[in-house]
Structure 1
């Protein structure tokens, strides 16, 4: 093998990469011992490959940093400093519902389903503009029935009954038709938010059948509510 043939076959590279057949390898080894150019190319290429291998060993492939996880705005709910007090508060609420609220509702429902004798106060046949003020004594949680007459007049198509509390505010109002007003009116006064003291029941006549229209005062009834100890 001569120099031109070694150059054409790229003998230096194939020799160092161990890609040369055994018979050509022997011929090239005999050649480069006598060829200064091939010997120089062989030493230079060998040095380059060795340096490249050392450099590759030192190179570390950079790992991509994980993307920062997006924090939930409700993450603080799972922290012990918040979760434990919140859980304790939840237990207190559940216990209060089971021991207080639900039994109270059950008792009220049972009362609604059970027939009861309600205390009653009748204002029928009288007008409390003068004379003694009638009164009724009830338990704080006990409703009572209130009955009264409406002095009907043919020019009114309906009537409005307004009940004023002892503080002067309207406790409630009820509209009564002309047909209903022919009989004694009986209404139930609930116990919720009820004040003790003297109430005033005002009866008005509505000329156009609407409580929002012109009204005429027909009667004022006064009565007192007392609570039983």
Structure 2
């Protein structure tokens, strides 16, 4: 058995691990007892095998445990949460936010329209509450014929006219009422609680903003339920 055969076949390691056949082991022993080199290699291999066996028994050759066993599940969880968050952001960006912006614009437009309407009503209320500079006066006389109505001339700024009706003396506390009817008989306005003033007349303020041009009948009666008509007048509203 030559050195080349021993090195190529791994004879020393097989001999130390008791894996050589008996005939090869006997031939190798005859050689290495006479060869200092092989004798030294056998002892070195025995120490190496003993050290490896000892290390294996102590677990020194086992693969080191994972330092962070939770890292992969945590990474998977973070990835899943990122996907969910991205989907939520996409939903908010492309669906919810445009819908909410549309509702907000609609609410702002409605609020602006409401403010404009309130401003218009406030302006109209201020105009209505302001004293009217020149109040037209219609003196109603029951003695006129049907073709000669009591006329009153109004314009776009006229809010009311003053109806003046002379009546005979009455007992104290007597109250009168006026019913203003359109030509079709529909009651356009009614005024209650009128009393004879110190000039011996009834003075009533009649709103004309909602009265169209035309002839109206003004009926005078006591301010009582089902009271008979005391007098009837004709009033023509003429706008200029």
TM-score range, shorter chain: 0.5 to 0.7
Aligned partner of 2:234 among 217, 222, 227: 222
Which has the larger Rg?
2
- Residue 27 of structure 1 is matched in structure 2 by none
What residue is the counterpart of 2:153 in the other structure?
137
- Partner Cα distance (2:201, 2:127) in 1: 29
The structure with higher relative contact order (CA 8 Å, sep 6+) is: 1
In structure 1, distance between residues paired with 2:166 and 2:97: 63
Unaligned runs of 5+ in 1: 1-29
* 3-state SS in 1 of match to 2:69: helix
Counterpart in the other structure of 1:108: 127
The question of whether the paired residues in 2 share the 8 Å contact of 1:164 and 1:172 is answered with: yes
- Name the counterpart of 2:30: none
Change (3 A) 1:188 1:149: same
Residue aligned with 1:226, SS: strand
Structure 2 segments unaligned to the other structure (5+ residues): 1-46
CA contact (8 A) 2:194 2:202 kept: no
Identify the residue that residue 205 of structure 1 maps to in structure 2: 222
**Change over 3 Å in CA distance of 1:54–1:121 after alignment to 2:** closer
Alignment of 1:9-158 (within 5 A): 33=50, 36=53, 38-43=54-59, 46-47=61-62, 49-50=63-64, 52-53=65-66, 56=69, 59-61=72-74, 62-63=77-78, 65=81, 76-78=99-101, 83=105, 101=120, 105=124, 108=127, 112-113=130-131, 116-124=133-141, 126-127=142-143, 132-142=148-158, 143-150=160-167, 157-158=174-175
TM (norm. structure 2) is 0.52
> In 2, are the aligned partners of 1:158 and 1:177 still within 8 Å (CA)?
yes
Higher helix share goes to which structure?
2
CA RMSD, aligned part only? 4.9
The Cα shift of 1:112 comes to 2.1
**8 Å CA contact retained: 1:145, 1:188:** yes
The number of residue pairs the alignment matches comes to 179
Q: Quickly say closer, same or farther: Cα 1:172–1:53, change in 2 above 3 A.
A: same
Deviations 1:47-75 (A, max 9, x none): 2x43x32883872412373786997x897
